[in-house]
Structure 1
């Protein structure tokens, strides 16, 4: 049984323009490269960092995002099953935007964790059942909502970093039948390769409880190490999966997809055994042969890349490799190409 996690889906205005068609938007080509890796997993987890706008807009980027609903069609086409939604941008478009985001994701068959549209929904554990009947519980929390208040009277709608609540929610997921429980934290300092004290503190607290089988994270927009904390795999940050961030920050183009393989023991308990990661790279419209930005799964794209692109892919992979492996965790391996 395996799960796949990857970087932030940070839908910037430059991506809106790249996906624009005569009839609206088509974001599917931007994520198409990652489909083979996602298809290998039983559960493919994405991080929908920003809210979705009303159909037809208006759309906006930083500091308060509103992305086209057509981005969800790309999420589905890529092969994702579950999206975490707790982020510092969860309430960028207020209560209506947060509720709309959940409704659109659910309408397209994508399960969510981290934000809730009703109190009853928040009270229920976030569970996903694989085709083989394995039940995965998710607990997703964010360090901040960018000083935008969570709607008064609906403080339950966004889960903020709280190890005690995370542990309590994990226990509730177990009681509801979860075989595996995953903690997701949207936390850290942007544009750094090392987890900060908040990330390390949360990882230490939740793994020490024994209630979580895996910890994953986003927000820094740069990749960070994969490590083991209290004998539990912690994927601190997988960078960006898709984004078009301004400025000269090469780290925002680099990302990682991570597949964690779980083994079932004789008593029916599951434990994470091995982790396979793959570097990803986000092109720019000006240097991509297609003329638009997209994410490329590096090991699967190298062979067919032209020399200039291949050079950039190899450089990105080398940068990511140095960071990802710095945690020195045994059982970590790198994907070398499509197995399909």
Structure 2
């Protein structure tokens, strides 16, 4: 395989224990088989060694797997890449012609601060109760996790907003239908490396894939790959908003994947393209409360598409921005807040929604946006008249694309 995923200790610890037991059994089996062979070879009527039969009955070792993915042995210290049935990172059978996959996206999710207080009073499912149908209707659902999930850590200094959420809050995201979350943003290290490490552990324990952070830059730029119906989708998370240089993941240094310099992001996209049908880049960028992208968003967005990304999904401005059709691919500049603290007075930060992309294995996607409005940190379907006004405004904010009254987004010819 031309590209193999880096495994952090946090991502592999459960499977590592399982493989340890499997390898121990294999090792014992080898000892027993070796003893039996020795006894047979020492018999007076022994005629010399025979080829060992494989567990499947007659198959030779070359039949047990491809050369690029050897069967695990007792001497291996870490498990091999899992099969698609586990989390979509092994070899997969090509999808049948005409197969599509639906991908849902939302903006910033903050299971902390005021939202955390609401969860404590109303339960972990409260923030997503009204949006659940839209989230669960897709094959894969993704969002941006805007807070470390930990009971430890050291709060970041010289920062206006510092967040911290509880591991038990993640059950609400899992129940709502989320599958993968980006950690590449300006709050992931609010509680330092300990907080980030705990966050990755907590997501692993909750059965939620994640990307955009790691113990070094190699792990941080490694995509999460999920498979549905034979279509493999690679999710890469990067941030163009990093509060301090020490937050950047680098060789032998933990942190987030940054894209001030797009070199590593471009390399990650090209590598992911070798093993996945679709490549999605979720990027944190832009200026807060501006409903149009700044130059760095359009420049970086175009660069990522040129490198091979099929979808670029933005967050950070806290308000919705428009969409762009670029070279047959799509950029969503900002999906705004999804579950976040809501102001006392009505604000554009409460306008939100779920973007769904229906894509084939060639990377051709059709987009639809379902408008929502968040009240008390709980997004729900928007009232029809308000929804029409929002969709019309998003259409005006878009580039080379229009949004119709049903939320369908199409490229202008």
Q: TM-score normalised to the size of structure 2? A: 0.67
Q: 1:159 Cα deviation (Å)?
A: 0.6
What is the aligned partner in structure 1 of residue 223 from structure 2?
126
Which of residues 296, 314, 334 in structure 1 aligns to 2:380? 296
Q: 1:51 Cα deviation (Å)?
A: 0.7
Quote the Cα distance in structure 1 between the aligned partners of 2:211 and 2:406: 28
Relative distance call for 1:119 and 1:230 in structure 2 (3 A) is closer
- Higher-Rg member (1/2): 2
1:16 aligns with 2:16: no
Quote the Cα distance in structure 2 between the aligned partners of 1:118 and 1:66: 22
Quote the Cα distance in structure 2 between the aligned partners of 1:335 and 1:112: 31
Quote the Cα distance in structure 2 between the aligned partners of 1:319 and 1:247: 22
What is the aligned partner in structure 2 of residue 323 from structure 1?
393
Q: Does structure 1 retain, via aligned residues, the 8 Å contact 2:109–2:143?
A: yes
Q: How does 1:192-271 map to 2 (within 5 A)?
A: 192-209=290-307, 211-246=308-343, 248=345, 250-264=347-361, 269-271=362-364
Answer 1 or 2: higher relative contact order, Cα 8 Å, separation at least 6. 1
Q: Which runs of 5+ in 1 are unaligned?
A: 285-292, 303-312
What is the aligned partner in structure 2 of residue 288 from structure 1?
none
Q: 1:167 Cα deviation (Å)?
A: 1.3
Q: TM-score normalised to the size of structure 1? A: 0.80
Q: Which moved more, 1:84-93 or 1:61-70?
A: 61-70
- Quote the RMSD (CA, aligned, Å): 2.7
1:68 aligns with 2:160: no
Count of aligned positions: 301
What is the aligned partner in structure 2 of residue 280 from structure 1?
372
Q: Which moved more, 1:71-80 or 1:12-21?
A: 12-21
Q: 1:34 Cα deviation (Å)?
A: 1.6
Q: 1:156 Cα deviation (Å)?
A: 5.3
Does the residue aligned with 2:394 lie in a helix, a strand or coil?
helix
1:146 aligns with 2:220: no
Q: 1:5 Cα deviation (Å)?
A: 0.6
Q: Does structure 1 retain, via aligned residues, the 8 Å contact 2:217–2:251?
A: no
Quote the Cα distance in structure 2 between the aligned partners of 1:105 and 1:92: 17
What is the aligned partner in structure 1 of residue 188 from structure 2?
90
Q: 1:247 Cα deviation (Å)?
A: 6.4
Q: Does structure 2 retain, via aligned residues, the 8 Å contact 1:28–1:78?
A: yes
Deviations along 1:287-338, one digit per CA (max 9) or x if unpaired, are xxxxxx411133xxx5xxxxxxxxxx743x35532332121555755657xx
Q: 1:89 Cα deviation (Å)?
A: 0.9
Quote the Cα distance in structure 2 between the aligned partners of 1:202 and 1:270: 19
Relative distance call for 1:314 and 1:19 in structure 2 (3 A) is farther
What is the aligned partner in structure 1 of residue 103 from structure 2?
3
Quote the Cα distance in structure 2 between the aligned partners of 1:223 and 1:257: 11
Which of residues 229, 245, 262 in structure 2 aligns to 1:163? 262
